[in-house]
Structure 1
């Protein structure tokens, strides 16, 4: 039998902690101890030590009835002791996201649908495009549309406007959902680790333009898509997720594109979800993904 006080009790907040640092003994013990001293309960823990880079990575979910500032204050001395790069966030908090697209709708539409159906922990605060084709789609889902034309002469101004939008809307994540413009080194640097790109190919194969035509010309038996962080090196940023689809000699370029777009949607959605859930940690030019 329950009483009114029990029924109205607010459950403890769920927090997620991610960290990376040079690997050495005592890290897990120190983190767990700092959490325990504040009455926190670890409900999920994943860790990985990379023998090649000498770095240690950890993702922990914590149940704790205390504000974020107090949990961070408890962990701060541990982070300083071990030289950690770390972050604390509330589990499930929608990440403020700006989606960039050009003329193809499948990736932009899929992200908007998944957000609206509560399948994706993001808050898409706007859609930016260098064309107007995507405006009706964005408006259908209630997302603000921003037309930012890009030409060779206006590229610098367009990128300045993009960074203004990121700042004005407090954007945490930028998704290049088949945005057919190459971001400059300056933008990639300013938004390092915060821009996810979907490439319609199984990188590192078939980089650049017309990858499905390249794949068809080579007679491939598998096509795929790659979601990665955008960097100054075109299509060479740290890979987050990849997937493939089997094809055969009877599939023409049109068929490959149709199948490929399905793969692109799945791969991009998984990468965005994992990033928003703080499951992706950078390990040099690679990633550690705690799924």
Structure 2
């Protein structure tokens, strides 16, 4: 197993010398930098940085790094987030009846491609219980109807707390999360990633493949994004595309689209887990 590393994500007002100051701070504490990526958003006047360094030989004890990072961020009038590469977050996967994204994620977790645990799968249908339990996850069926959506979401939030969930992945969960649900999650440690079956911002909402076929598009795709109150409007993490032709029917678009959905969602989750995504002003910088 590789030596654990610390990962700093920092956003602050741009000014000369920031790269030198950040790398100098790591070096002054005996750190060996593994990766350093920076971006300046000229329009916003912001500097974004992701620096990863080995914990072995670092001069600060692990429990002292977070306060030191907070002091560094304050000095730069910015915001900093600290992560550790050996942290394995607990994730819940929300799903409806379609299994392809669920199977792909669970297989990648088992194969060691995605550094997370999946102790919980939540669905508004009972269909995929055997599949999820075959991968060792607890499967909970929470029916959702318009008349009792509030009660259903309260039950889901209780499950997330019970299982210590830090990340929620919507793997073809064909329900819109309410603003109250998202607000409650904001007070919890969980974050939410969704897969939408179109190349956003094109064909938002329901039945995007049918509408794409009607328009005669030659390229379809899938978009993985963080979930916000705006339907399919959250910050985009990853997108995948595939060519289609005039010979393809709607069923062909759906079949081809499933491949892009699996790929875009798996890539997005991996980028999130590796702390390569930074969200600011409703958009993302992805240091891949």
What is the TM-score when the length of structure 2 is the normalising length?
0.93
Question: What SS does the corresponding residue of 1:150 show, helix, strand or coil?
Answer: coil
Q: Deviation per CA, 1:63-102, whole angstroms, max 9, x where unpaired?
A: 1235422222332321111233222222143221110000
Match of 2:238?
241
Question: What SS does the corresponding residue of 2:137 show, helix, strand or coil?
Answer: coil
Q: Are 1:181 and 2:172 an aligned pair?
A: no
Q: 2:4, 2:86 within 8 Å by CA — same for their partners in 1?
A: no
Match 2:113 to one of 109, 112, 119: 119
Q: Deviation per CA, 1:87-142, whole angstroms, max 9, x where unpaired?
A: 22221432211100000000011100000010111111210001111111110101
Match 2:23 to one of 22, 25, 32: 32
Distance, in Å, in 2 between the alignment partners of 1:184 and 1:160 is 11
Range moving further from structure 2, 235-244 or 62-71: 62-71
Question: What SS does the corresponding residue of 1:155 show, helix, strand or coil?
Answer: helix
Rate the CA distance shift 1:241–1:11 in 2: closer, same or farther, 3 A: closer
Q: 1:38, 1:74 within 8 Å by CA — same for their partners in 2?
A: no
Q: 2:70, 2:80 within 8 Å by CA — same for their partners in 1?
A: no
Q: Are 1:270 and 2:261 an aligned pair?
A: no
Q: 1:38, 1:71 within 8 Å by CA — same for their partners in 2?
A: no
Rate the CA distance shift 1:148–1:272 in 2: closer, same or farther, 3 A: same
Question: What SS does the corresponding residue of 2:165 show, helix, strand or coil?
Answer: coil
Q: Are 1:155 and 2:146 an aligned pair?
A: no
Give the unaligned 5+ runs of structure 1: 1-9
Question: Aligned residues, how many?
Answer: 282
Match 2:71 to one of 77, 87, 91: 77
Distance, in Å, in 2 between the alignment partners of 1:11 and 1:276 is 16
Range moving further from structure 2, 122-131 or 91-100: 91-100
Give the unaligned 5+ runs of structure 2: none
- RMSD value, Cα: 1.7
Question: What SS does the corresponding residue of 2:248 show, helix, strand or coil?
Answer: coil
Q: Are 1:287 and 2:278 an aligned pair?
A: no
Distance apart, 1:209 and its partner CA: 1.0
> How do residues 208-227 of structure 1 correspond to structure 2 at under 5 angstroms?
208-227=205-224
Q: 2:69, 2:82 within 8 Å by CA — same for their partners in 1?
A: no
